[in-house]
A = this chain, B = another copy of it.
Amino acid sequence: MFVGIDLGGTNIKLGCFDPQLKLIGKTAAATGADMGPGAVVDRIGETTEKLLADNSLSAGAIEAVGIGAPGPLNIAEGVIIASPNLPLFKDVPLRKMLGERLGAPVILDNDANAACWGEFVLGAGKGVRDMVFFTLGTGIGGGIISDGKLMHGWCDNAAELGHIIICPDGRLCNCGQKGCVEAYASANSTAEIAVEAIEAGAQSSLKKVLDERGTISCKDVYEHLAAGDELARQITDETARALAIVCVNVLHTVEPKRIVFAGGMIAAGEVLLNRIKDYFNEQIWSLKKEAVEICFATLGEDAGIIGAAALAKQNKKGDGCE
């Protein structure tokens, strides 16, 4: 039995899986990141034990544990170097701590990589060996599978795809760069761009939301898009265009067979996906026809725990993908 853990700044998600990676049971708990690494590891331990007990399993049944965590990480050493979402975690040997707590081998990887691996093994990436994965959430994260393997880069920071610059001297990103795709196409940017447009005088049904609540969310933008608002349509177009450019760029870099978008924003649905594909076809070269498939993820919020468990299984077996 394998345990997959998705460690976030707010919540810990946890699942136990049979050897075929079928979900036996899952649960979640508040991270309690302000209690520090030791307490968080204890909480993961307790939550795991409770999940196992609820499913009539003993801790001894754990073959291996996979955990996805925000980074930067040192994956070879199993260490969280630092994390904006886990401010008390500095050079924390999470793999060792968790291994001792649970009495099982642990593999640590980046949270976006874990979700990417989950989609690759059991979700939208099934059947391909080369895949690029984007999570469209508060920010934009990424993962790259090349020839059936997760790409880590020389210092475990490959696939920071949200920080590909698509517009020199463009919008300022939280990372300090200008013109990152994250500054145009994340949930936060979508909301910010809407607020800026309305404050600059754009006509939109979103103005009422801003007036009443003092803020606009990405969800609002997509709700007003569905209701036919023109500003919401323009913003969605800009998002799709930014994502299409980054699709062109990853195609010409790692040449995936499939590009998979995940995260809260894909709730926008086909209207977003189709615009991404349209703009991709408009922007891509004419030298040859590109058969890359652009699609949405299929595992939803479970991708992280599934991927972490799959990494644990793969690590245990020492082999590549299925």
A residues in contact (CB < 8 Å) with B: 72, 128-130, 144, 146-147, 151-161, 163-168, 173, 175-178, 241, 245, 248-250, 252-257, 283-288, 291
Compute how far the CA of A154 lies from the CA of B259 in the bound complex, rounded to whole angstroms.
12
Enumerate chain B residues within 8 angstroms of A147, measured Cβ to Cβ. Answer: 151-152
Of B164, B252, B255, which contacts A154 at CB under 8 A?
A: B255
Known: A155-B255, A158-B255. Contact between A283 and B245, CB under 8 A? no
Q: How far is the CA of A156 from the CA of B129 in the complex (A)?
A: 13
A72 touches B288 (CB 8 A): yes
Find out whether the CB atom of B250 lies under 8 angstroms from the CB atom of A253: yes
B128 x A154 contact (CB < 8 A): yes
Known: A166-B168, A168-B245, A241-B168. A254 touches B151 (CB 8 A): yes
Tell whether, in the assembled complex, residue B285 and residue A158 are in contact, meaning their CB atoms are under 8 Å apart: no
Q: Give the residues in chain B near A175, CB-CB below 8 Å.
A: 285-287
Interface contact A158-B254, CB-CB below 8 Å: yes
Asked whether B249 lies within 8 Å of A249 as measured between CB atoms, the reply is yes
User: Could you list some 19 contacts between A and B, CB below 8 A?
Assistant: A129-B154, A130-B154, A144-B254, A146-B153, A151-B254, A152-B255, A156-B255, A158-B255, A159-B255, A160-B255, A163-B252, A164-B252, A164-B253, A165-B245, A173-B285, A176-B287, A177-B283, A177-B285, A253-B254
